[in-house]
Amino acid sequence: MSATILDGRALSATIRGELRTEVERFREKQGYAPGLVIVRVGGDAASGVYTRAILRIAGEIGVQARVEELPALTSADELRALLLQLNEDQRTHGIIVQMPLPAHLSQKMVADTVTPAKDIDGISPGSAGNLFLGLPSFLPSTAAAVVEILDRHHITLAGKRVVILGRSNVVGKPLALMLLQRHATVSVCHSRTRDLTTLTRQADVLIAAVGRPRLVTAEMVRPGAVVIDVGINTLPGGGIVGDVDFEAVREVASAITPTPGGVGPLTNVMLLKQCVRAAWLASGHSEEPLGLSASQA
């Protein structure tokens, strides 16, 4: 029997509908919409596509979003000054700085400068520290998208064995902490892990986030496991595939995300969800209308 497909596109549409309602409620109470600023330095084509996707979703749900375009030769002091200004702007609730930055600008400087209260992509040391300590925090959007899929499909994590392939700062590491908070037993594998298949076949939930096309084969998956594919890889001859051999693994797993159409469609939605949450928190409301309670964050 083939696995249940965990459809990220359908879930994204559901959450966007929820966010439209929530933004309207915020506007009725506060008299203005939640505000998002996307900072771009230089003209990287990929970040431009990403920016347009965020703006499209923001417009759809009613978030007031704008782009601050800076030339590639912008100095570190100039970028820092803009970020400090946005930190103080009461109508800006979320700040995103698009990567990659030009070589002379430091991602660490950006992470250190953006206030944690507006760090809706969870890149600051303060956000990471709060996540580590189990305190309320904004989360890296891709890791948050994975957990959203698991939560929305009522996939039990407490007491389950989760294996994550990949230890990046934006997916593997934060995701491991988030799943530990849900009482899963978590193993993080990487390029130096030995006997990888032995470990992956122990997983109740297997999450692949390494950027290697079709790395995970059917033989690596325990029958009945849930498989989440975070990878997006472009093939030399064209086409996009994940880190999982989808057609083979779907015959073994109980549930699986496709690529494209799985985790990807939720990533930008989670950014906007956290922007709306930041707006509520900035307005002085302690309520968690979007289900991002301290225990989840």
C-alpha neighbours within 13 Å on the C-beta side of residue 161: 11
- Number of CB atoms found within 10 A of residue 286's CB: 6
Tokens of 274: 């956290």
Tens of pLDDT, residue by residue over 123-133, are: 999 999 999 99
pLDDT at 286: 55
For the cut 80, the answer to whether the pLDDT of residue 297 exceeds it is no
Say what the pLDDT of residue 90 is: 96
Residue 45: per-residue pLDDT: 83
* Residues 216-223, mean pLDDT to the nearest whole number: 98
Does the pLDDT at position 296 exceed 90?
no
118: DSSP letter: G
Q: How far is CA 145 from CA 72, 79, 176, 210, in A?
A: 31, 29, 13, 16
- Cis check for the bond before 260: say yes or no (omega within 30 of 0): yes
* pLDDT, tens digit (0-9, with 9 covering 90-100), for 135-179: 999 999 999 999 999 999 999 999 999 999 999 999 999 999 999
**Token code pair at residue 244:** 């999982």
Instruction: Please state, in angstroms and rounded to a whole number, the distance separating the CA atoms of residues 39 and 101.
Output: 10
Domains defined along the chain, listed by start:
29-123+267-282 (3.40.50.10860), 141-264 (3.40.50.720)
State the pTM of this model.
0.93
Measured CA angle at 173 (ends 185, 236), to 5 deg: 110
Q: Could you tell me the pLDDT band of residue 285, with boundaries at 50, 70 and 90? A: confident
The pLDDT tens digits for 1-20 are 699 999 999 999 999 999 99
Secondary-structure breakdown of the chain: helix, strand, coil percentages, each rounded to the nearest 5: 40, 15, 40
Average pLDDT (30-40) is: 97
User: pLDDT grade, residue 46 (50/70/90)?
Assistant: confident
Residue 67, pLDDT > 50, answer yes
Instruction: Give me the mean pLDDT over the 93-115 stretch.
Output: 95
Phi, psi dihedrals of residue 165, rounded to the nearest 5°: -100, 110
